Structure 1
Amino acid sequence: MPKTEPSARPRFDPCVTMPSLQRLRTAVKAGDWPATESFIASLPDEDDRAFAASLAAGIKGAEKFLERVVGERPGEPLPRALLAERYIHIGWDIRSDARAQYVSGDQFRQFHAWLRRAEHLLIELCAEHPAYALAWRARLISARGLELGQSETRRRYDRLVEHHPHHFNGQQQLLQKLCPKWGGGWELAHGFARECAAEAPPGSLVGVLVAEAHLEHWLDLESGADERYLRDPAVRDELVAAAAASVWHPDFHHGFHAIGAHGAFAATLSLGGHYAEAAPHFRELGNNASESPWNYLGDKEAAFIKHRTTALAKG
C-alpha cells in the first residue's frame, strides 16, 4: 500500500486495491474451476483464503457455476465450501444489514432458507474434513444468522481454533455474536477481543479485534455518549497499543485484510478525535479503502474523505 499523502477519491473495490484478486473474480465469472481452485490453493494462509472465499461468494450468479462443480466433484471440500458461502451471501443480501425490527417476516424466511441450504453442505463437509477452516468459519456466520445461540456458536469457534489458532476472520465472526445486537454483551465482546489480542503472536491481525469491538460499542451508544466514549484516553491508549502489536509490528503480514485493518484503526481513532494517532494509518492507506468500517458511517466515500482530510490536517 502507498505511504504517501493521499488526495484522490478512495478506491473500495478489492480487485483494484489488491489487483491479484482480479484473477479470482475473472475465474469465477468465467466458470473456470481450475483457475479458481489454483488461486485459492496458492494463498499463504487461512485468513487470505477466507477473504478470497468471501469475494467469490459475492459474485452474482456464482451459485450456478459452483453447483455444477459440486456435482462434478462431490468428494472435494473446496467446491462445497464456496457454494455454502455463496448461499450464505445470498441469504444475507435478502435479510440486509438492518436491525431485526426492520427486517420483514418474508425476508427472514428466505434468509433462513438459504442458510439452511448452506448448513446442509457444511455439516457434511465438517464431518468429512474436521480441520477444514473455510467450512467452520462459514458455520460461524450461519450460526449467527440462524440464531443458534452463544453455546453452539462458541462450539463451532472452538472446533475452528482447535486446528487453526488465531484465525482472525473466525474471531471476527465470534466477536459479532458476542455483541449485544446478537445476544451478547459488551463485557463479553471486549473481553474476547482483549484475550485474543493478548494471546496472538506479535504482528498478528488479531489486534484489530480491539478496534472493532470499540467501534461496535460506539455504534450502540446514543449521540453524545458515543463521542465521549471514544474520546476516553484509556480507549485511545488501548487502540494505540493494539496497533503497535499488529499492523505496526515488523512481522505484520500485509495480506488481503491489511486495508481493512488499518481502516478499523483509522476510523476508530478519528471518531475519538485522536488525529495524531489516526494520521499514520491514513498515510499507510493512501487512496485504498475497504467497505468495512466505512459503511458503518453512512456514505462510505464521504466518511473516508472527511476523516482522512481532518486527520492529515490535524495529525
Structure 2
Amino acid sequence: MTTSTAGGIGGAPDISGPPRFDPFDTLPDLAPLRDAATRGDWPATAGFFARLATEEDRSFAAGRLADLDGAEHYLEKAVAASPGDPLARTLLAERYLRIGWEIRSGARAEHVSRDQFSQFHSWLRRAEQLLIEVCAEHPSYAHAWTVRVTSARGLQLGQTEARRRYDRLSAHHPHHYPAQTQLLQNVCPKWGGTWETAHEFARTCAAEAPDGSHAGALVAIAHLEHWLELDGIERTAYMRGLPVRDDLRFAAQVSVLHKEYRPGFHGIGAHSAFALAFSLGGHHADALPHFLELGDRASEFPWHYVSDPSAAFVKYRKAALSVQGESR
C-alpha cells in the first residue's frame, strides 16, 4: 500500500477514452478500502487508514467509504465493539451525514419537503452526537472536525459556528484542504455567506498554503460556484473575464502545476476544477495541462455542475488538445 502520493495521477493516462468518474476505478489504491467495506471487515478498514500518510488522504478515503450504501451496518458494529475508537465513530458519523444528505437531496431549500428536512436533521444530529464526543476526547482529530464543518452547514448553525469549527481544526492542521473545501461551501451565498467572503477565503488559503498544495484549487471552485449562480450571457462573460482567468492562472501555478505538487487522492478533483473553470471561460490553452494530467480520469465534483458531465469533459478535452496540435 503506497501512502500520500498514492492515488496520484502521474504516468501516461489515456486521453482518448470517455471519462471515468468512479474514484475506486480512477484511484486503484482505494480498492482495498472498498473490498474491506464489502466484506464488513473492520480490522482491514482500520489498517487501510493507518497506512495513509496524510490527514488529507484520510479525509478523502473516509468520504468514499461514506458513499458506500450499507456501510453503516458494519461501522455500527465496529463502534459497539470499540466505543472509544475515534476512527470508527467518525467514519460512522460521516456515513450518517451522507444518508441524511441523500434524503435531503441537492435541491435548494424551497424544493425540499418538511419530511425530508426532518429526516435529514435527524441523521445529522445522530452524527453530531458521535462527533462531539470524538472532538472532546481528541481535540486535534482532523477528520472529525472536517465532518463537523459539513454538519454545521446542514444543521444551519450559522457562519460563526462553522468558522469556529474550522478554526479548531486549523489550529492543529492549518492547510487541511478537505476542511477548506467544506468551509468554502458554507461561506457561499447559497448557505448564507457572500461572494466577497467566498473569494477572499479561497485566495487566502491559496496564498498562505505552502507551494504545491491543493489549496489553489479552492480559487477555481469559488469561481465555479459563482458561475453556477449566474444566468445566460452573464455566466459566459464571468468566466471569460480576464480577472477570473488571471486568478485561475496564479492559483494553478502555485498549486497543481507547481514543481512541489504531490497529487495524493485529491489530485483528480483539483485538476478537474481547473480544467472545467478554464474551459468554461474558453481558455483552452490554460486547461490543457490539467487535461493532460487527467487523461480519462475525472471527479464527479465539480463536473456534475454541467448538464452532461461526460459529454462536457470530452468536448472540452478535445478543445484543449486541439490547441496543443495547433502549437506544433
TM above 0.5, yes or no, is yes
Is structure 2 residue 306 aligned with structure 1 residue 297? yes
256, 264, 273: which one aligns with 1:247: 256
Q: Distance in 2 between matches of 1:201 and 1:119?
A: 32
The 5-angstrom pairing of residues 166-185 of structure 1 reads: 166-185=175-194
Is structure 2 residue 104 aligned with structure 1 residue 95? yes
Query: Aligned-pair distance for 1:151?
Result: 0.4
Question: In structure 1, what is the equivalent of residue 316 of structure 2?
Answer: 307
- State the secondary structure of the residue aligned to 1:249: coil
Question: In structure 2, what is the equivalent of residue 265 of structure 1?
Answer: 274
Question: In structure 1, what is the equivalent of residue 283 of structure 2?
Answer: 274
Question: In structure 2, what is the equivalent of residue 66 of structure 1?
Answer: 75
8, 13, 22: which one aligns with 2:17: 8
Deviates more, 1:303-312 or 1:104-113: 303-312
Is structure 2 residue 246 aligned with structure 1 residue 237? yes
Q: Which amino acid aligns with 1:146?
A: L
Is structure 2 residue 39 aligned with structure 1 residue 21? no
Question: In structure 2, what is the equivalent of residue 127 of structure 1?
Answer: 136
283, 294, 305: which one aligns with 1:285: 294
Provide the aligned C-alpha RMSD in A: 1.0
- How many residues are treated as equivalent by the alignment? 315
Q: Distance in 2 between matches of 1:163 and 1:29?
A: 33
8 Å CA contact retained: 2:135, 2:145: yes
Query: Aligned-pair distance for 1:314?
Result: 3.4
Q: Distance in 2 between matches of 1:214 and 1:300?
A: 18
Deviations 1:33-75 (A, max 9, x none): 1110011111111110000000111111111100100000011
Question: In structure 1, what is the equivalent of residue 203 of structure 2?
Answer: 194
Gaps of 5+ in 1: none
Question: In structure 1, what is the equivalent of residue 162 of structure 2?
Answer: 153
Q: Which amino acid aligns with 2:117?
A: F
User: What percent identity do the matched residue pairs reach?
Assistant: 60
Query: Aligned-pair distance for 1:5?
Result: 6.5
144, 150, 155: which one aligns with 1:141: 150
Q: Distance in 1 between matches of 2:306 and 2:109?
A: 19
220, 228, 244: which one aligns with 1:219: 228
Flag as ranges the 4+ runs of structure 1 deviating above 3 A: 2-5
Q: Distance in 1 between matches of 2:312 and 2:50?
A: 36
Q: Which amino acid aligns with 2:83?
A: P
Question: In structure 1, what is the equivalent of residue 44 of structure 2?
Answer: 35
Q: Which amino acid aligns with 1:180?
A: P
Length-normalised TM-score, structure 2: 0.94
- State the secondary structure of the residue aligned to 1:148: coil
Q: Which amino acid aligns with 1:64?
A: H
8 Å CA contact retained: 1:3, 1:285: no
- State the secondary structure of the residue aligned to 2:265: coil
Length-normalised TM-score, structure 1: 0.98
Query: Aligned-pair distance for 1:274?
Result: 0.3
Is structure 2 residue 88 aligned with structure 1 residue 79? yes
Is structure 2 residue 147 aligned with structure 1 residue 107? no
Query: Aligned-pair distance for 1:228?
Result: 0.4
Deviations 1:225-280 (A, max 9, x none): 01101101111111011111000111111200000100000000000000110011
Deviates more, 1:198-207 or 1:100-109: 100-109
8 Å CA contact retained: 1:265, 1:278: yes
Q: Which amino acid aligns with 1:287?
A: D
Q: Distance in 2 between matches of 1:3 and 1:103?
A: 44
- State the secondary structure of the residue aligned to 1:247: coil
Q: Which amino acid aligns with 2:202?
A: A
Q: Distance in 2 between matches of 1:306 and 1:159?
A: 42
Q: Which amino acid aligns with 1:138?
A: V
Query: Aligned-pair distance for 1:4?
Result: 5.3
